[in-house]
């Protein structure tokens, strides 16, 4: 029996898919990349973005057509709003929460497909985290450390799709890191909707800074170097001790993703971000002081409900001030389930697009200035593969900046190698491998 899974949405969904792969392989199913060859077709979906939901409908429409000619089971899971789930029940055979993944063998067997009886059904976050993921990469892994969110930003549906914050036991996280390191993994990312509130939902658990400290100690004893990242933190919970811990350990990568969303206090209030631009500025100043070499990434929403030209101008100025290395800029669109979906979306699409282009230009300039400052330096690069034309190699700096570089066939993906930076094109770097 073969199965096919389409994964939409964020890294959290990618991580969920890696656990789903394990459930299927324990059932004796074989993964296929060709959906037309599969007996079971599934989607790890994302209610947070309308585009992702549109993709689900177009896919299930196609799969249900195929059912006229052969026996197929279809399922959908992931980050889903209740109203999307109700609609999917009409078109998919199985609709379930990621927490109920361990019950998949039972669900499938109800369709007359026999599976080994070793896996029993439990509605439990702990059971879900107990599934060992099957990683897609041999050198890069994502580790969920919490699920859900308590922040209730008005533009976001995550608290309604994933529920309230639940922290995974730190012993499990540290254990998973040790296993990955024993297998030679070089890049590990801790995942959560709001990683820096990790542990706050439990009486006796490490804080996020303490968790990083434990990982740092593991890194000091590790047989090979690796880079540890985390995403995404919330400015409201970003504490000095996290930055100080990052400064102490070599393995804690000097890269911080700190979502700004807007540079205007009025808009931040409407978004229920619970911090001001001044609060955010203090954090950035602390990052620059404690981790001067760190790269800074952010998320921005343009055209939020009734963002005025003045509101937008404040965001543009903030982008100039903070000089990001990467900015994920999204045009606001109301999501069902989020509070703001009940408000009038007053900004015309062409105004949103114009603002997006203005912010993109500002960010590309600041990223370019930083990249040019790296020219003539030599940096350790994690090799990720061959460039599209197959003539050069691609990789990432510790600060997660893309680089294309020349080198020979002794280079392998998943290895660290020194590269001399020779040039910069906008947001990526050019270089030459320094081969001994």
Give the pLDDT confidence of 401-422 residue by residue, as tens digits.
999 999 998 999 999 999 999 9
- Give me the pLDDT at residue 150, please: 86
If one compares 216 and 107, the residue with the highest pLDDT of the two is 216
Domain boundaries, the chain: 2-125, 129-371, 378-433
- pLDDT band at 114; cut points 50, 70, 90: very low
- Give me the pLDDT at residue 124, please: 59
Of 120, 160, 150, nearest to 23 by C-alpha is: 120
- pLDDT band at 161; cut points 50, 70, 90: confident
DSSP 342: G
Range with lowest mean pLDDT among 255-259, 290-294, 432-436: 432-436
- pLDDT band at 164; cut points 50, 70, 90: confident
- Give me the pLDDT at residue 121, please: 36
Output the six-digit token pair for 86: 């109700």
Place of tokens 């195929």: 66
Task: Give, for 430, the enclosing helix (H) or strand (E).
Answer: strand 428-433
Output the six-digit token pair for 96: 């379930």
Output the six-digit token pair for 396: 């990432």
If one compares 33 and 125, the residue with the highest pLDDT of the two is 33
- pLDDT band at 126; cut points 50, 70, 90: low
Give the span between the Cα atoms of 217 and 252, in whole angstroms: 10
What average pLDDT is seen over the chain? 90
Give the span between the Cα atoms of 396 and 210, in whole angstroms: 27
Q: How many helices (H) and strands (E) does the chain have?
A: 13, 18
- Give me the pLDDT at residue 247, please: 98
Backbone torsions φ then ψ of 346, nearest 5 degrees:
-85, -15
- pLDDT band at 248; cut points 50, 70, 90: very high
Residue 42, strand partner residues: 5, 75
Of 151, 143, 225, 238, nearest to 192 by C-alpha is: 143
Spatial neighbors of 128 by CB under 8 A, at least 6 apart, are: 19, 98, 99, 100, 101, 102
pTM as predicted: 0.79
Of 302, 276, 277, 298, nearest to 359 by C-alpha is: 302
- Give me the pLDDT at residue 102, please: 79
Task: Give, for 244, the enclosing helix (H) or strand (E).
Answer: helix 240-248
Helices (H), ranges, 258-348: 265-270, 277-290, 309-322
Give the span between the Cα atoms of 100 and 392, in whole angstroms: 44
Q: What integer is the mean pLDDT of 335-347?
A: 86
Give the span between the Cα atoms of 406 and 395, in whole angstroms: 11
Radius of gyration of the chain from Cα atoms? 23
- In CATH terms, the superfamily for domain 378-433 is Nucleic acid-binding proteins (2.40.50.140)
Task: Note the Cα 319 to chain centre separation in Å.
Answer: 22
CATH class given for the domain over 129-371: alpha beta
- pLDDT for 354-391, tens place per residue? 999 999 999 999 999 999 999 999 999 999 999 888 88
Q: Is 2-125 assigned to CATH 3.40.50.12160?
A: yes
Task: Note the Cα 4 to chain centre separation in Å.
Answer: 22
Q: What integer is the mean pLDDT of 134-152?
A: 87
Q: What integer is the mean pLDDT of 309-319?
A: 98
3-class secondary-structure state, position 418: strand
Question: Is pLDDT at 179 greater than 70 in this prediction?
Answer: yes
- Give me the pLDDT at residue 119, please: 33
């Amino acid at each position: 029996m073969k199965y096919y899974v389409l994964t939409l949405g964020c890294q959290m969904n990618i991580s969920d898919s890696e656990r789903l792969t394990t459930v299927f392989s324990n059932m004796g199913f074989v993964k296929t990349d060709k959906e037309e060859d599969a007996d079971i077709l599934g989607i790890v979906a994302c209610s947070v973005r309308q585009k992702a939901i549109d993709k689900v409908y177009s896919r299930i429409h196609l799969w249900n057509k195929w059912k006229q000619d052969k026996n197929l089971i279809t399922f959908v899971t992931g980050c889903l709003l209740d109203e999307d789930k109700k609609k999917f029940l009409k078109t998919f055979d199985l609709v379930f929460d990621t927490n109920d993944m361990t019950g998949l063998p039972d669900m499938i067997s109800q369709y007359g497909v026999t599976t080994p009886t070793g896996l029993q059904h439990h509605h439990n976050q702990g059971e879900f985290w107990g599934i060992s993921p099957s990683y897609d990469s041999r050198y890069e892994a994502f580790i969920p450390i919490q699920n859900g969110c308590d922040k209730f930003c008005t533009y976001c549906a995550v608290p309604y799709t994933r529920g309230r914050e639940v922290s995974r036991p730190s012993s499990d996280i540290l254990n998973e890191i040790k296993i990955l390191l024993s297998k030679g993994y070089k890049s590990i990312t801790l995942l959560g909707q709001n990683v820096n509130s990790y542990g706050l939902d439990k009486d006796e658990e490490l804080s996020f800074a303490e968790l990083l400290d434990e990982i740092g100690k593991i890194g000091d004893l590790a047989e090979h170097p690796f880079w540890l990242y985390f995403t995404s933190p919330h400015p409201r919970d970003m504490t000095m001790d996290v930055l100080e811990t990052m400064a102490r350990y070599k393995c804690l990568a000097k890269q911080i993703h700190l979502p700004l969303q807007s540079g205007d206090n009025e808009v931040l209030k409407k978004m229920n971000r619970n911090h001001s631009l001044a609060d955010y500025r203090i954090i950035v100043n602390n990052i620059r002081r404690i981790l001067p070499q760190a790269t800074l990434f952010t998320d921005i929403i343009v055209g939020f409900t009734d963002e005025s030209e003045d509101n937008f101008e404040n965001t543009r100025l903030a982008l100039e001030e903070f000089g990001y290395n990467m900015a994920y800029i999204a045009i606001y669109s109301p999501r069902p389930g989020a509070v703001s979906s009940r408000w009038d979306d007053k900004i015309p699409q062409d105004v949103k697009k114009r603002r997006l282009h203005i912010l993109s230009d500002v960010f590309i300039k600041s990223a370019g200035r930083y990249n040019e400052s790296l020219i003539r330096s030599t940096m350790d690069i994690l090799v990720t593969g061959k460039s599209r034309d197959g003539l050069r190699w691609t990789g990432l700096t510790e600060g997660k900046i893309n680089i294309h570089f020349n080198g020979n066939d002794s280079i392998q993906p998943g290895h660290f190698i020194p590269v001399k930076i020779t040039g910069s094109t906008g947001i990526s770097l050019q270089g030459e491998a320094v081969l001994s």
